Amino acid sequence: MAEHEHVRVAVIGSGFGGLGAAVRLRREGITDFVVLERAGSVGGTWRDNSYPGCACDVPSHLYSFSFAPNPDWPRTFSGQEHIRAYLEHVADTFGLRPQIRLNHEVVMMRWDGDALRWEIETAQGRLSADVVVSATGPLSDPKTPDIPGLDGFPGKVFHSARWDHDYDLRGKRVAMIGTGASAIQIVPSIQPDVAQLTLFQRTPPWVMPRMDRAITGPERWLHRQLPFTGKARRGLLFGIRELQVTAFTKHPKQLGAIESLAKANMAKAIKDPQLRAKLTPSYRIGCKRILLSSSYYPALAQRNVEVVASGLKEVRGSTVVAADGTEAEVDAIVFGTGFHVTDMPIAERVVGADGITLAEAWKDGMESLRGATAAGFPNWMTIIGPNTGLGNSSMILMIESQLNYLADYMRQLRVLGGRAALGARASAVHAWNRRVQDRMKRTVWNTGGCDSWYLDANGRNTTIWPGTPSEFRRATRAVNLAEYEVVRARAEQETAGDRAGTATGAAEAVA
């Protein structure tokens, strides 16, 4: 076998998760790592999603790293270009560039049980790593439904996450497919310019007003001069959301009170009762992500917009056909149809200790230990893994919790010495998931009467964390070695009993 580079840690992806992991590894004194990025620049989902109107619906002072505050956020809900610039800035400020390998898509990674390391094949050659941190993100691979006749469509087709900026939509007849968080930002951004917009709405979303405003010069000055004011602002945003969580997780009926606010948001702009009826959801608010927009409904009320309350079923030449038979002739089709979340493609590219892929291991649904590690995949950790998503707060909080876990994982490995890896015990993974799924039963995501990308093909919610971000922070503060077995090179494998003893001993050594 040809010699190739070996590193302590290979991080995959350079979005919030990957860059955060890189900063955290540095802070733990680990410098022997690389960040493998498939694209030509950093930024993850905030690089790939550049559609008109793209912005975050979590306030910027909360949707940023606690260790890299930005006093200069221009708006309360900043746009994609500012969030992307922030991530570029993080890469520069923390000196990460030399370790970031752009255009290094990971093609395959295999656990080598003899050498106790991951063999990684990238688009630009091979390397190996003791530990893999998979930070590819759940919103990275666009999903386009399999629509009969789409291949024969003579016009332009693209997905919201792969916007074609060279294609001019002005004066065109456009079909927008989907009414999720992406589509409701695209619709008001393109509506004034297109000749006709036909919106295919399979399920209406709940849309609340978006309280976006410019952050004033004096506010920014204050955050620059007195950094604790920025922290206080973040703390307030965090606290409010923390208090909201039990309504989502334990008392979904309480959410009913805010449905009237969303209905008022609609009624203000939509005067036609028939259109209002089409746009009114029939499930509990919060079951799908609550969307924020003050411009979506006003755009739908315009004369050049038609809402088809049915999904796209077929394309016949340049005619798009809905499931209810409605037809429209269009020049372009824009899919705002989301991402491969519960069937993340990276899982096909990870081959674990038993020679099976993560996708095979997860064929009945994703399962990990504390959102991070998986049985049969030693020294492999995912950032934003199963059941780490949030319905109402900032994912950066969850990412930072996972970085704490990563840091402790690396400390535990150091205590064990060079010739050992850590593998999540199947029993611990099952116990964790039983607890997660038990708590999930009462949540609005499972009881609210909707279908959403939070649920997998079996109807199991494998994406959302059924608690507060603080609870997750506590659950991931440190690695509990009783949940792991110490994996030795095959040649020196010990009995299961010895391994358990070693694990306990290491736990004591670290405690």
Residue ranges that bind ligand NAP, judged by CB under 6 A: 55-57, 139, 145, 160, 177-183, 185, 200, 202-203, 289, 311-312, 336-339, 453
Nearer to ligand NAP, 81 or 92 (CB): 81
Nearer to ligand NAP, 139 or 424 (CB): 139
Residues in the chain: 511
Q: CA geometry: angle at 503 spanning 499 and 508, to 5°?
A: 145
Helix count (H) and strand count (E) of the chain?
A: 15, 20
Sign, Cα dihedral of 51, 56, 60, 62? negative
Torsion on CA atoms 181, 193, 82, 15, rounded to nearest 10: 50
Q: Give the nearest distance from C-beta 159 to ligand NAP in angstroms.
A: 9
Nearer to ligand NAP, 307 or 381 (CB): 307
Nearer to ligand NAP, 162 or 268 (CB): 162
The one-letter amino acid code at 207 reads V
What element of type H or E holds 31?
none
Nearer to ligand NAP, 337 or 401 (CB): 337
Q: Give the nearest distance from C-beta 344 to ligand NAP in angstroms.
A: 14
Q: Give the nearest distance from C-beta 205 to ligand NAP in angstroms.
A: 7
Q: Which residues contact 139 (CB under 8 A, 6 or more apart)?
A: 45, 161, 339, 341
Nearer to ligand NAP, 53 or 376 (CB): 53
Q: Give the nearest distance from C-beta 346 to ligand NAP in angstroms.
A: 17
Nearer to ligand NAP, 182 or 249 (CB): 182
What separation in angstroms does the CA of 429 have from each of 63, 315, 344, 398, 441?
29, 44, 19, 19, 19
Beta strands 156-159; 332-335: pairing state: parallel
Nearer to ligand NAP, 183 or 397 (CB): 183
Nearer to ligand NAP, 20 or 59 (CB): 59
What element of type H or E holds 251?
none
Distance of CA 161 to the CA centre of its chain: 13
Q: Give the nearest distance from C-beta 347 to ligand NAP in angstroms.
A: 19
- Token representation of residue 142: 């666009």
Tell me the C-alpha distance between 333 and 278, whole Å. 22
Tell me the C-alpha distance between 429 and 367, whole Å. 7
Q: Give the nearest distance from C-beta 83 to ligand NAP in angstroms.
A: 9
The one-letter amino acid code at 154 reads P
* Cβ atoms within 10 Å, residue 275: 19
Q: Which residues contact 162 (CB under 8 A, 6 or more apart)?
A: 48, 142
The radius of gyration of the chain's CA atoms, rounded to the nearest angstrom, is 24
Q: Give the nearest distance from C-beta 68 to ligand NAP in angstroms.
A: 19
Q: Give the nearest distance from C-beta 453 to ligand NAP in angstroms.
A: 4
Nearer to ligand NAP, 212 or 360 (CB): 212
Q: Give the nearest distance from C-beta 59 to ligand NAP in angstroms.
A: 11
Q: CA geometry: angle at 165 spanning 159 and 169, to 5°?
A: 80
Q: Give the nearest distance from C-beta 145 to ligand NAP in angstroms.
A: 4
Tell me the C-alpha distance between 240 and 233, whole Å. 11
Tell me the C-alpha distance between 416 and 69, whole Å. 35
Nearer to ligand NAP, 101 or 202 (CB): 202
Q: Give the nearest distance from C-beta 363 to ligand NAP in angstroms.
A: 22
Beta strands 484-488; 420-424: pairing state: antiparallel
